């Protein structure tokens, strides 16, 4: 194994993180009256609330994805392939971070999430940069970090959708898309040679089927997030085991245990 230990330019990462955080900070000083957008589809009335926080989250998500693209293209071993796979986690991080900052604005927890978010985002960008080269000795560590971060963010995202309490019409597509992106990226990290479109789609469909009835159950946001996290992560592990070692005797045990215990904890916290 060749040891090509390439690290990104710290000034470049700092610029990306600072630009994103500055956008969040400036959003609190820009006058932007809240707008209500109405849409009618087949006698279904859909209302969107557009405010400065929403605009900032959209802008920051674009900045995070483009910043990751800019960073990956500077890697010495980048072979001009598509960099889309490296956008997912920075984009999802920006969305979750934006929601937390908007909800905790003005308090000590808001500033804490602001500072921790910067470090969190820089760590993700460094790990994404390392995964460009599978021969890097730090590649397994970077993959482990990205997998842990991706499913932690997925847990937060599911819990936040519950807190927002949107109608199922809006919640289900967002959860489906988040599950698909996280599953697709996770499977690609485990087997970088090929994409797993069908498997990621299957995981997303099953998770969405579970999310639909849970939407109407009187459970806490954390329980809701844990239930969906347990299902999505267990299915990811199961698919990964079937792809890498389809005849392993105990390949089904760990996914089942993770699913079982996450649901037990979710029920206990309901």
Q: What is the DSSP string of 66-97?
A: HHHHHHHTTSTT--S---GGGTHHHHHHHHHH
Using CA atoms, how far apart are residues 176 and 188, in angstroms rounded to an integer?
A: 18
Q: Which pLDDT value is given to residue 163?
A: 86
Using CA atoms, how far apart are residues 87 and 151, in angstroms rounded to an integer?
A: 15
Query: Which DSSP helix (H) or strand (E) runs through 243?
Result: helix 221-244
Using CA atoms, how far apart are residues 112 and 103, in angstroms rounded to an integer?
A: 13
Q: Which pLDDT value is given to residue 99?
A: 74
Q: Is the dihedral of CA 25, 31, 34, 39 positive or negative?
A: negative
Q: Which pLDDT value is given to residue 2?
A: 46
Q: Which pLDDT value is given to residue 1?
A: 42
How many other CB atoms are there within 10 angstroms of residue 149's CB atom? 17
Using CA atoms, how far apart are residues 13 and 74, in angstroms rounded to an integer?
A: 12
- Which residues on neighbouring strands pair with residue 48, listed in sequence order? 37
CB 230 within 8 A of CB 258: yes
CA distances (Å), origin 66, targets 29, 61, 72, 78, 191: 24, 9, 10, 16, 24
- Identify which of 92, 86, 87 has the alpha carbon closest to the alpha carbon of residue 120: 92
DSSP state at residue 136? S
CB 258 within 8 A of CB 237: yes
CB 56 within 8 A of CB 23: yes
Mean pLDDT, consecutive 10-residue segments, the chain of 270 residues? Answer: 65 84 75 68 66 79 89 85 84 79 63 72 88 87 92 90 82 91 91 86 95 91 94 93 71 85 90
CB 52 within 8 A of CB 22: no
CA atoms within 13 A on the CB side of 25: 12
Query: Which DSSP helix (H) or strand (E) runs through 110?
Result: helix 108-130
């Amino acid at each position: 194994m060749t040891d090509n230990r390439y690290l990104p330019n710290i000034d470049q990462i700092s610029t990306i993180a600072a630009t994103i955080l500055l956008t969040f900070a400036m959003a609190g000083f820009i006058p932007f009256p809240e707008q209500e957008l109405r849409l009618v589809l087949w006698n279904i009335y859909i209302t969107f609330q557009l405010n400065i926080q929403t605009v900032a989250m959209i802008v920051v998500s674009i900045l995070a994805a483009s910043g990751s693209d800019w960073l990956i293209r500077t890697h010495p071993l980048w072979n001009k392939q598509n960099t889309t796979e490296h956008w997912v986690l920075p984009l999802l991080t920006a969305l979750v971070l934006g929601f937390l900052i908007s909800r905790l604005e003005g308090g000590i927890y808001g500033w804490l999430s602001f500072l921790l978010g910067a470090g969190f985002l820089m760590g993700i960008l460094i790990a994404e940069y390392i995964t460009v080269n599978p021969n890097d000795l730090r590649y397994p560590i970077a993959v482990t970090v990205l997998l842990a971060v991706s499913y932690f963010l997925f847990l937060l995202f599911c819990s936040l959708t519950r807190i927002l309490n949107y109608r199922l019409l809006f919640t289900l597509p967002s959860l489906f898309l988040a599950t698909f992106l996280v599953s697709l990226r996770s499977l690609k990290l485990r087997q970088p040679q090929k994409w797993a479109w069908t498997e990621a789609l299957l995981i997303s469909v099953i998770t969405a089927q579970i999310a639909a009835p849970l939407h109407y159950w009187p459970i806490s946001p954390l329980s809701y997030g844990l239930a969906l996290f347990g299902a999505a992560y267990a299915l990811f592990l199961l698919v990964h085991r079937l792809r890498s070692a389809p005849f392993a005797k105990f390949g089904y045990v760990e996914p089942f245990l993770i699913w079982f215990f996450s649901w037990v904890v979710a029920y206990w916290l309901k």
